[in-house]
Structure 1
Amino acid sequence: MQERDDWSAFFTELADLSGAVILPHFRTRMTIDNKEVDAFDPVTAADRAAEQVIRRHIGARFPDHGILGEEFGDDSGSAEYVWVIDPIDGTRAFISGVPVWGTLVGLKKGGRPIYGMMSQPFIGERFIGDGRTSTYAGPAGEAVLRTRPCPSIAEATLFTTSPTLFKDDERAAYDRVETGVRLTRYSCDCYAYCMLAGGHVDIVIESGLKTFDIMPLIPVIEGAGGVVTNWQGGSAIDGGQVVASGDPSLHEEVLRRLAG
């Protein structure tokens, strides 16, 4: 199989291709469809076009690999290598003209995350990781990503999409963390996790995620020295209740507060 540098080049190709089909739609009067009956779950032509171009490029290069995408489903079967795609993570931000959305692409081998990327083509930033190291490329140049030490929850900055999205006992569990931190910010979708990997944020807590919302970000977070689990401390690869921390010792405190 490919070496790390080759994987990085291929992920860069995917970022270029998806960005080229997404950007003509951004900040335009686009058509917005709703995927849900009793809720608002927007999807646009940009979401669909980006996933299609990513699928085609992967299929042409790796025809024996499986693919799981948000818009066009799961054809992974029993493949050893499976690509996980969220063509626009943060479609609500996308249709609102706010550039905190991103294209997520991850790769699993034998069910284990081995590579992931978040690409933000409007700003021109890419965050790529393999679980051992993570890198940034963008207007600020290139850099190795490292989380920052934050052993005390009282010094932490916390991100979540919105507290109103937590259901029933989830809200009480989340509040036990928020009341202890120094600063809380809302929204930012996948960008919050990348800011954690870059050492600007300490905690991200969310619930109701799908695997394509979080799996591509796991190698980026872990490669930068962070930790990402479910609220019980287990694997977050399948989504659901997810918590990420830049400092492993801080993560243990966050898990204790979530558990009450």
Structure 2
Amino acid sequence: MLAPDRLAALDSFLIDLNRASAAAIAPLFRADHGLEDKGTATWFDPVTAADKGAEAAIRQLITEHYPEHGVIGEEYGEDRPDAEFVWVLDPVDGTRAFIAGLPVWTTLIALRHNGRPVLGSIGQPYIGELYIGHAGGSRLLARGQEKALKVRACPKLTDAIIATTDPEGCFTGAELGAWTQVRAAAKLARLGCDAYAYAMVAAGTMDMVIEAGLKSWDIESAIPLIEGAGGIVTDWRGDPVGQHGGQIVIAGDRACLDEALVALKRSANN
């Protein structure tokens, strides 16, 4: 466990990282964002000047203030990934939403301590929201105010509002079948919200997010945030999430999660 004063200092620094990232991204949203296709997949895999500029700004601040810390980022790779403290970055999660002008993209920043994510944030600077959390609790910073975050009770899947990013694009055949089964049982499903849906689980307006094929930078920021708000993050077997992403479930209520896992476990990776 981190000492409270050290955790508070890192929490404050995380807010500074989000400010720096937002400053790099803001001029490019709904503007000339320098779109490219990474060409690393069979589908369109976009990256923009905002992704690159924001990660560069975050890395520069880390180097200036904590040069001994490691960094893992989507755009610029790994630097000392085995350090005691490692920052895990996705400067613009939801790049497809970003280039479409939709304000559901987010900046994801996590801090690992000895291999475990202990501090995380999901920021949406265009609408002025920063969701931040650790074991001591999670909170929303928005429009000059601070609000504690808490997941809501939803023990029955039939009452749940659930989400995924793109079932046809992100799930394999077996995974799509599992999602379809959970979707049929749930009250309501929303698509295309990317990691902003994670923040909504922490805020108690949604109940579950189901994803597959995630990288570490897609999910690690959500783990301290969701757990600090009283929620759960597991893989499709119900086990803790490792450092490599994969098949993920975020839930506010353990009973609701257990119902969904009945279907998801059948398509879980070994």
Give the TM-score category using the shorter length: over 0.9
Q: Kindly indicate whether the alpha-carbon contact (under 8 Å) linking 1:102 and 1:120 is maintained by their aligned counterparts in 2.
A: yes
* DSSP 3-state at the match of 1:244: strand
Partner of 2:100: 96
Q: Kindly indicate whether the alpha-carbon contact (under 8 Å) linking 1:131 and 1:218 is maintained by their aligned counterparts in 2.
A: no
User: Structure 2 CA distance, aligned partners of 1:211 and 1:57?
Assistant: 21
User: Structure 2 CA distance, aligned partners of 1:30 and 1:10?
Assistant: 27
Partner of 1:109: 113
One-letter identity of the residue aligned with 2:187:
R
Q: Kindly indicate whether the alpha-carbon contact (under 8 Å) linking 1:132 and 1:224 is maintained by their aligned counterparts in 2.
A: no
2:126 matches 1:126 = no
Return closer, same or farther for 1:105/1:77 CA change in 2, 3 Å cut-off. Answer: closer
Return closer, same or farther for 1:79/1:127 CA change in 2, 3 Å cut-off. Answer: same
1:181 to 181, 186, 207: 186
Shift of 1:162: 1.7
2:195 matches 1:194 = no
Shift of 1:55: 0.4
Instruction: Tell me how many residue pairs correspond in the alignment.
Output: 260
User: Structure 2 CA distance, aligned partners of 1:78 and 1:184?
Assistant: 38
Shift of 1:77: 4.0
User: Structure 1 CA distance, aligned partners of 2:222 and 2:251?
Assistant: 13
User: Structure 2 CA distance, aligned partners of 1:240 and 1:131?
Assistant: 23
Partner of 2:14: 11
User: Structure 2 CA distance, aligned partners of 1:63 and 1:111?
Assistant: 18
Q: Deviations over 1:151-209 (max 9, x none)?
A: 01110001011220211211111112111011111111110000000000001001111
Cα root mean square deviation, aligned:
1.3
Partner of 2:70: 66
One-letter identity of the residue aligned with 1:4:
L
User: Structure 2 CA distance, aligned partners of 1:134 and 1:4?
Assistant: 13
User: Structure 2 CA distance, aligned partners of 1:85 and 1:58?
Assistant: 11
Q: Kindly indicate whether the alpha-carbon contact (under 8 Å) linking 1:118 and 1:217 is maintained by their aligned counterparts in 2.
A: yes
Partner of 1:235: 240
User: Structure 2 CA distance, aligned partners of 1:5 and 1:132?
Assistant: 10
Q: Kindly indicate whether the alpha-carbon contact (under 8 Å) linking 2:133 and 2:228 is maintained by their aligned counterparts in 1.
A: yes
Partner of 2:250: 244
> What TM-score do you get using the length of structure 1 for normalisation?
0.96
Q: Deviations over 1:65-112 (max 9, x none)?
A: 110000000112431111100000011101110010111110001111
One-letter identity of the residue aligned with 2:163:
F
Q: Kindly indicate whether the alpha-carbon contact (under 8 Å) linking 2:72 and 2:81 is maintained by their aligned counterparts in 1.
A: no
Partner of 1:146: 150
One-letter identity of the residue aligned with 2:185:
G
Q: Kindly indicate whether the alpha-carbon contact (under 8 Å) linking 1:131 and 1:221 is maintained by their aligned counterparts in 2.
A: no
User: Structure 1 CA distance, aligned partners of 2:210 and 2:93?
Assistant: 16
2:25 matches 1:22 = yes
Q: Kindly indicate whether the alpha-carbon contact (under 8 Å) linking 2:33 and 2:50 is maintained by their aligned counterparts in 1.
A: no
* DSSP 3-state at the match of 1:3: helix
After the TM superposition, which parts of structure 1 deviate over 3 Å for at least 4 consecutive aligned residues? none
Unmatched runs of 5 consecutive residues or more in structure 2: none
